């Protein structure tokens, strides 16, 4: 019996090594990062989506836009061409979830400050209150870097339609008044093709970490 084991010792060692290699290969395959989903109106909470597009199941993209930032500059989709960006909806006088969301957006700004591929975009849902001057004061107070992060105001109809028909991110108050919005805690991750690739709770630190990781995954797609 002992001689049998001696005779096949090297075969056993080789088999063991081969098994380790095979297991490692399978482990690597199973742990390959999955691509991020592309969100479509039909797959998102219907409360966030305009009724006219709730049926759409493919080809959804962020629409063209033209808004004014904290410096009085016109910001359009061209300023975000070939960029990954994080978008949200807020208002400067909000005392509930907005301060937390803004602090988390500041954290994201810090992480992507030297990354030329990534930007931030925050839309005011109270454009009459959030004038350029008001946005500028808010930007200075919060430490907004003008080269990375635009706080935008403008026509309320356009902002409403962006929120409900493009970003699929805010609720309506349901009272029948045109263009009334209830902003949410949503952060949206947008890819270079203007597609929605992720939703995150902007008040939760763990979601911010997930968002930052998803940005890294998204960058590998190119």
Number of domains in the chain: 2
CATH number at residue 133: 3.40.30.10
How do residues 181-222 score in pLDDT, each as one tens digit? 888 999 999 999 999 999 999 999 999 999 999 999 999 986
- At residue 181, the pLDDT reads 85
Under 8 Å CB-to-CB from 136, ≥6 apart: which residues? 70, 71
Q: Is 94 annotated as a binding residue?
A: yes
Tell me: do 24 and 51 sit in the same domain.
no
Tell me: do 6 and 69 sit in the same domain.
no
Whole-model pTM? 0.84
Check if the beta carbon of residue 151 is closer than 8 Å to that of residue 122: yes
Tell me: do 71 and 100 sit in the same domain.
yes
In this prediction, residues 8-29 reach a mean pLDDT of 52
Residue 89 has pLDDT above 50, yes or no: yes
Where do we find the tokens 């019996």? 1
Q: Is 55 annotated as a binding residue?
A: no
In this prediction, residues 112-129 reach a mean pLDDT of 97
Tell me: do 7 and 71 sit in the same domain.
no
What is the share, in percent, of the chain residues with pLDDT greater than 70?
83
pLDDT band, residue 180 (cuts 50/70/90): confident
Measured CA to CA, the distance from residue 159 to residue 152 in angstroms comes to 9
- At residue 179, the pLDDT reads 80
- At residue 15, the pLDDT reads 53
- At residue 39, the pLDDT reads 98
From 170, 178, 144, 18, select the one nearest 69 (Cα to Cα).
Answer: 144
- Mean pLDDT, rounded, of the chain: 89
Tell me: do 80 and 156 sit in the same domain.
yes
Q: Is 123 annotated as a binding residue?
A: no
Residue 12 has pLDDT above 60, yes or no: no
How do residues 156-166 score in pLDDT, each as one tens digit? 999 999 999 99
- At residue 23, the pLDDT reads 53
Domain that holds residue 15: 1-32
Tell me: do 63 and 110 sit in the same domain.
yes
């Amino acid at each position: 019996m002992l001689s049998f084991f001696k005779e096949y010792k090297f075969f056993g060692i080789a088999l063991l090594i081969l098994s380790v290699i095979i297991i490692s290969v399978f482990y690597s395959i199973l742990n390959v990062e999955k691509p991020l989903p592309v969100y479509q109106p039909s797959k998102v909470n219907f409360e966030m989506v305009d009724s006219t597009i709730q049926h759409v199941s493919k080809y959804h993209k962020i629409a063209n836009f033209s808004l004014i930032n904290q410096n009085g500059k016109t910001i359009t989709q061209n300023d975000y061409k070939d960029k990954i960006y994080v978008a949200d909806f807020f208002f400067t006088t909000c005392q509930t979830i907005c301060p937390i969301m803004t602090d988390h957006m500041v954290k994201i700004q810090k992480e992507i400050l030297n990354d030329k591929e990534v930007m931030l975009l925050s839309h005011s849902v109270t454009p009459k209150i959030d004038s350029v001057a008001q946005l500028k004061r808010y930007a200075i107070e919060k430490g907004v870097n003008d080269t990375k992060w635009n706080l935008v105001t403008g026509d309320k109809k356009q902002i409403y339609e962006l929120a409900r028909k493009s970003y699929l991110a805010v609720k309506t108050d349901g009272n029948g008044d045109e263009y009334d919005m209830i902003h949410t805690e949503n952060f949206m991750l947008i890819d270079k093709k203007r597609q929605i690739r992720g939703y995150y709770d902007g008040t939760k630190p763990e979601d911010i970490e997930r968002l930052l990781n998803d940005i890294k995954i998204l960058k590998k797609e190119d």
